[in-house]
Amino acid sequence: MNQDTGTPTAPRVALVTGAGSGIGRAVAQELARTGWSLVLAGRRAAPLDETAATLAADCLTVTADVSDPARVDALFAAADDRFGRLDLLFNNAGSFGPRGVPVEDLPYDAWRSVVDVNLTGSFLCAQAAFRRMKDQRPQGGRIINNGSISAHSPRPHSIAYTATKHAVTGLTKSLSLDGRPYGIACGQIDVGNAATDMTADFAEPVMDVHDVARTVRHMAELPPGANVQFATVMATNMPYVGRG
């Protein structure tokens, strides 16, 4: 039983994208700690294996490029074969793209790469999860999208990342609306500077990545009738409103 809600915790199967490092690894560790079975997805096998080695949980690792529809189909087919259902998708894979590049100098290929991973990848994984959650019995599940403070307030020279994170908010709202008839809840966590490799050279304050992971677990383990639509978790002293 879930000690917080009194609801059954089995079966609980979560698929985490971008699970080889950073927020994805921390969330996988937190979910494993509370009894979830896990599918870990990422572009490279070695980091996924490193994450899996830290988990005391039933775990499957799958290398996948979330921007490739065929690879996403294969990822979710592998999850089906192993576990037979899906209770949670943590849509976490993302790319910041080149940093500090003025909008007039941003190459098209760089723009497209960020859009393909952050937006198209999130859509493809959400679509695949939605199909399974709609058809499985018992029906339903939860999707949590990793947004960003940049879904609200951009950094200078980050147009591709900012545009995709604003778009992820629209994705979250649409999934929430369309999932209602099928018991599929969708929420978004907007993170302000968790201490990971991605933020290693940031001048802004950072926070422990495990504080993010605990927040995701709270969202994931709510009963089906409750949903955190949007949560902002950030380092206390980082800029937010009026940043730039």
- Where are any strands of DSSP class E within 11-92? 13-17, 37-42, 59-63, 88-91
Q: What is the DSSP string of 117-140?
A: IIIIIHHHHHHHHHHHHHHSSS--
d(CA 194, CA 51): 18
d(CA 38, CA 56): 10
> Any catalytic annotation for residue 240?
no
Which residue of the set 108, 161, 182, 240 is catalytic? Answer: 161
Q: For the chain, first and last CA: distance in Å?
A: 46
d(CA 202, CA 177): 36
Token digits for 8? 């059954």
Active site positions, annotated: 161
